[in-house]
Amino acid sequence: CQDSFYASDSILRCHAETLTPATFTCEAQCAVPTVANAAAGGICKEAKDKIMPFTSCTTQCATGYTASATSLSCRNGGFSPATIACNPDPCPAPTGVEFHHKKGPCQDGSTITSGSTCVSQCLAGYTPSVASLACKAGTLTPATFQCVPNPCSIPDV
């Protein structure tokens, strides 16, 4: 193979005038892409700049993000899959909220999409300490809320 290219098979065997394997390919390394929200060391756990052909790298993202594929395979100077992204993780609804609504503490359900909010809900007679919690990359802000009992009204006599 020419400089900067690598053979698909490092050894060819000749037996009875027959090569095994019968053919091979020469391929270039794959340049590791820059991906938004990748881990500090880059999207590929095994290398920062280039990956050898015929190999794979394990993808890694920053905390709160998950890669759209678990690995990238290098063939013909390109990766498969061709594109990779670090997508923000959803947030689980807060736990341990006493007197939350029977359908759960969030109007949106038990999982909140990153970039949206958990609208707090309590049983009748209680008011949420905060109206909503923002979800960003797997983290709710604030992390939880309380269902505070409503004060009793004193009747006029």
The separation between the first and the last C-alpha atoms of the chain, rounded to the nearest angstrom, is 99
Q: pLDDT: is 73 or 5 the higher one?
A: 73
Distance between CA atoms of 48 and 50, rounded to whole angstroms? Answer: 6
Return the closest-CA partner of residue 5 out of 74, 55, 73, 53: 53
pLDDT in tens, 19-49: 777 777 788 889 999 999 999 999 999 988 9
Half-sphere exposure in the Cβ direction for 153 (13 Å, CA): 4
Average pLDDT taken over every residue of the chain = 91
What is the model's pLDDT at position 9? 66
Return the closest-CA partner of residue 142 out of 156, 152, 131, 155: 131
Q: Which long-range contacts (CB under 8 A, 24 or more apart) does 88-92 make?
A: 88/37, 88/64, 88/114, 88/115, 88/136, 88/137, 88/138, 89/64, 89/65, 89/114, 89/137, 89/138, 90/114, 90/135, 90/138, 91/118, 91/133, 91/135, 91/136, 91/138, 91/139, 91/140
What is the pTM assigned to this prediction?
Answer: 0.77
pLDDT in tens, 51-96: 988 899 999 999 999 999 999 999 888 999 999 999 999 999 999 9
What is the model's pLDDT at position 54? 86
